[in-house]
Structure 1
Amino acid sequence: MSAGGAETEAGAGGAPSGARRVLAPLALAQFICSFAGSNMNVMINDISHDLDTTVEGVQIAITVFLLVMAALMIPGGKLTDRYGRKRCFLAGLVVYGVGAVLSAAAPGLGVLIVGNSILEGVGTALLIPPVYILTTMLFPDLTSRARAFGTVMALGGIGAAAGPLIGGLITSAISWRAAFVFQALVIVAILALSRSVEDPVPPDPTRPFDIVGAVLSAVGLVLLVMGILAADRNIWLTVGLLVAGAVVLAAFFGWVRREERAGREPLLSTGLFRNRTSNLGMITQNVQWLMLMGSSFTVAAFLQVVRGYDAIRTGLIFTAATLGLLASSLAAERLAKKWPQRTLIVAGFVLTIAGIGVLIGLAAGSPSPWAFTPGLLLIGLGLGVMLTPSVNVVQSSFGEDQQGEISGLSRSVSNLGSSLGTAVAGTILVIGLSRNAYATAMVVLALLGLVGLAAALLLPRSSHRAGEADDPALV
């Protein structure tokens, strides 16, 4: 696959000349978006006290941010074809930056939700699809792409895993508001670095945009997650929202088929769902982020509410997960050369599920904060091992003409996993913040991890490694 016809010479590893300079702002953008999804976990007490709200109110703000990303990621990916990848990337950065500034100055929970949950969520939905589209196009072979995605996913994983630590340090040293100022400053840095970004494929202003499909997909996803959030209040409301979400999503797929039969271009092509390898890869992505964000929220809430730890102590405990994720993510290229992608994904799930088991066993039996270290380290190592190959499996399953669609769909599935992880864990904890509730939430996450493991085991068996000829099953 060429880099969108860009007239550039190949560099080391098959990447076009200058592509590595482009990777810096792309990876940093993934870092700050992942950071935003997890850093508030250690600010639960500070924000709730300062804004005169509750733990549940802060949980809703966190979940809505993740939900907005999941709901709008598919339309965001589609818009890149019409308006261009760089233009959408820059627009997303600006919207995100405005949201961060508004959040820093929020006088109450409502304004915080507008700034953090809505504006930062919308900005993320605009800027993240271009990150994955440009990475796929600019790094044409599996070797260079594994290295590039390893960098992007390492920064994303570090943002999610180190979010509690960085957020805790900033909150303890200054205030929780300074964490949003930090985000705004990083956005300014990304905008400066983005001058080197060039769109390898020109935008097509005549490309149609399926407004009806965008609304149906977003509403369906919102209803599903809101149904989970309502589980601790009213079981019938939960059932009603889940059923309504399923009905709306069914209507969305009906609309897509109708548009295709009429010869019009829908929001998503049904062909995206006919690729078995890609479908299984997206299931693994969904569960990976569900486990990452769900376990992060559960552990952070337990440490602050049950054990009474402050933001910085809570953040420091997450260092083990950050180091594990960083080590395995940065080894993505070396691992991809040695092992098939399916093997890495399976191994990642096994390590992560084992880590949850170790975490429950040691933390429940010891009051020491060090009891969390082995389990969190295993969780970080497992997630880092499998994040990159899962993305590579999905993105490499389609050509350039469908990168906008598959990037939006893939990121929506991943962010839906993030929002579901926080919603599932948060609902269990809100029902009763205790040792039993904590253990129950982690057990549920481990059980859901088995679903991801099953999907990974169903991926095609292949000896395909980075540097070998592309396997038709993965391209």
Structure 2
Amino acid sequence: MRNRQGAGTGPGAGLTLAAVAVVQFMVSLDLSVVNVGLPEIAAGLGFGAVGLTWVIHAYALTFGGLLLLGGKAADRYGRRRVLLGGLALFGLASLAGGFAQQPGHLVAARAAQGIGAAALAPAALALLTATFPAGKARVRAFGVWSAMNAAGGALGVLAGGLLTEYAGWRWVMFVNVPMAVCALALAWRGVPATPPTARGGRPDVLGAVLATAGTTLLVFGVVRTDRYAWTSPVTLTTLAVAALLLAAFVRVERTTSREPLLRPGLLANRSVAGANAYNLLVGAAMAAAFYFVSLYVQRVLGTGPALTGVMFLPFALGVVVGSVLAVRLGYRVPPRGLLVAGALLTATGFAWFGLISPDGSFATDVLGPSVVASVGFGLCLGPVVSVATAGVAPRETGTASGLLTSSRQIGASLGLAALGTVADHRTGATATRQTLNDGYALGLTLSAALLTAAALIALTALRPTRPPAPGKTPDPTAALTGSAAE
């Protein structure tokens, strides 16, 4: 049932899709569910202002820094095995975080969540790619994946607000446990224990250490610009060391006698490189925009956490609508066209957000741009995954999946830190409603600029595809498979 016409049509494929959907929803939700509850977490555990940021960064750093290693592990040790192990760790870490009694306990639990997510996210995406290799089933599968990805991120804000206000902040951690158990059951029952796709050769441990350390240090250096200026010796030294580590990683990957963590030729693939550059900018823009809009609604409009979460519902629904449109249009519109249209539509929504006013309201300043930006975001989620993984050799699908998720997460961390610094500079020392509004507006306008740049990358890095022959149902990934080999 893996031929071109009937790929991914059996009952096992349905269980695999269900497991991957739950996994992606859970991972995406965990990126945003704690944001609204941060003030309550600080009060409950006694976090200081600087220490509280590590509730976010501990997850982001381990998740983004270890994704390449997680993708390689999925290829080498088997996708099912890595997926189950990652789910078990993620669920246990969530449970431990909910019972945290000190700031260090929660930060450690968030870091462990990131490690689990770095293992299970690329394994799940590689399973999806292998289970649905072509045809309509692939388009539908990636549509479901993108909808769950977006819904988890958007609904995380809603869930975080409601849980914090009505159940207590600990439930923003506990909520992951039943989802992890459900995904474990689905994966255990429905995902076959296929042999690893990459065999032979010794693992490139040095490359893994260099890549993880360099990526983590790069994110750390930019994140800490809230305390140390960009031109300070601390920031410059941190970024310089990160650059040296990443340069050493590239050299090791080119010269190692072991199996490289990331084969250099993979990034020479035009589709893979273009999709990851696109994804990096989209991740940067989306993370920053979520942050600014959430703070605008709470600090400028004076809305409580639960109602703030409710206000993000139109965004979540819009992303689902955009994902469904991407599936329907995927039979007729080349993926490059969907990527360009999605980025430009989202950029339009963020530029509209840039007009926010301190005397505004949800109806006039939030609802309209939320709908426009969310539909555009939904349009590009599925196609970028399909572009980044189509045509990649089976032994490297886990690596390619990890690279794509890593580019998104690293982009999110870098974008939030960089645009947050710019917005704070605009706000100045006196944080009034007007100055806060001005800072958030600038950050949202810059997010629109990042998405415009992403659209330009899609136009220049990805080749256009020919229209399908009359009377023939197109495979939206067929042209990508051809171009990916070039």
In which range does the TM-score fall when normalised by the shorter chain? over 0.9
Partner of 1:444: 446
SS at match of 2:101: coil
Determine if contact 1:350/1:453 at 8 Å carries over to the other structure.
yes
2: distance between equivalents of 1:315 and 1:464? Answer: 42
Amino acid at match of 1:83: Y
Partner of 2:466: 463
Partner of 2:40: 46
- Aligned length, in residue pairs: 463
Q: Could you tell me which of 6, 9, 17 is aligned with 1:23?
A: 17
Establish whether residue 242 from structure 1 lines up as the match of residue 243 from structure 2.
no
Q: Could you tell me which of 80, 84, 91 is aligned with 1:86?
A: 80
Determine if contact 1:76/1:125 at 8 Å carries over to the other structure.
yes
Amino acid at match of 2:138: R
Determine if contact 1:82/1:208 at 8 Å carries over to the other structure.
no
Determine if contact 1:228/1:427 at 8 Å carries over to the other structure.
no
Partner of 1:473: 483
2: distance between equivalents of 1:44 and 1:301? Answer: 12
Alignment identity in percent? 31
Superposed displacement of residue 357, structure 1: 1.1
2: distance between equivalents of 1:12 and 1:292? Answer: 36
| TM alignment of 1:30-429, pairs within 5 A | 30-54=24-48, 56-116=50-110, 118-194=111-187, 195-202=189-196, 206-235=200-229, 236=232, 237-259=234-256, 262=257, 264-361=258-355, 363-364=356-357, 366-370=359-363, 371-428=365-422
Superposed displacement of residue 77, structure 1: 0.7
Determine if contact 2:198/2:396 at 8 Å carries over to the other structure.
no
Return closer, same or farther for 1:61/1:201 CA change in 2, 3 Å cut-off: same
2: distance between equivalents of 1:328 and 1:414? Answer: 19
Return closer, same or farther for 1:162/1:269 CA change in 2, 3 Å cut-off: same
Return closer, same or farther for 1:468/1:75 CA change in 2, 3 Å cut-off: closer
2: distance between equivalents of 1:300 and 1:468? Answer: 36
Amino acid at match of 2:219: V
Q: Deviations over 1:279-316 (max 9, x none)?
A: 01111111222222221122112333344322111111
Q: Deviations over 1:232-268 (max 9, x none)?
A: 3323222222222111100100111111xx4x31111
2: distance between equivalents of 1:428 and 1:39? Answer: 25
Return closer, same or farther for 1:349/1:126 CA change in 2, 3 Å cut-off: same
Determine if contact 1:77/1:407 at 8 Å carries over to the other structure.
yes
2: distance between equivalents of 1:73 and 1:452? Answer: 22
Q: Deviations over 1:215-248 (max 9, x none)?
A: 1001111121112122233232222222221111
Gaps of 5+ in 1: 1-7
Name the stretch that deviates more: 18-27 or 438-447. Answer: 438-447
Superposed displacement of residue 395, structure 1: 0.3
Superposed displacement of residue 464, structure 1: 5.9
Superposed displacement of residue 365, structure 1: 5.8
Determine if contact 1:326/1:384 at 8 Å carries over to the other structure.
yes
Determine if contact 2:76/2:196 at 8 Å carries over to the other structure.
no
- TM-score of the two chains, using structure 1 as the length reference: 0.92
1: distance between equivalents of 2:214 and 2:380? Answer: 28
Superposed displacement of residue 425, structure 1: 4.0
1: distance between equivalents of 2:357 and 2:186? Answer: 45
Amino acid at match of 2:466: S
Determine if contact 2:63/2:118 at 8 Å carries over to the other structure.
yes
Superposed displacement of residue 332, structure 1: 2.7
Return closer, same or farther for 1:289/1:366 CA change in 2, 3 Å cut-off: same
Determine if contact 1:229/1:427 at 8 Å carries over to the other structure.
no
| Alignment RMSD | 2.1
Return closer, same or farther for 1:54/1:453 CA change in 2, 3 Å cut-off: farther
Return closer, same or farther for 1:380/1:469 CA change in 2, 3 Å cut-off: closer
2: distance between equivalents of 1:31 and 1:280? Answer: 25
Return closer, same or farther for 1:184/1:156 CA change in 2, 3 Å cut-off: same
Return closer, same or farther for 1:310/1:13 CA change in 2, 3 Å cut-off: farther
Name the stretch that deviates more: 56-65 or 238-247. Answer: 56-65
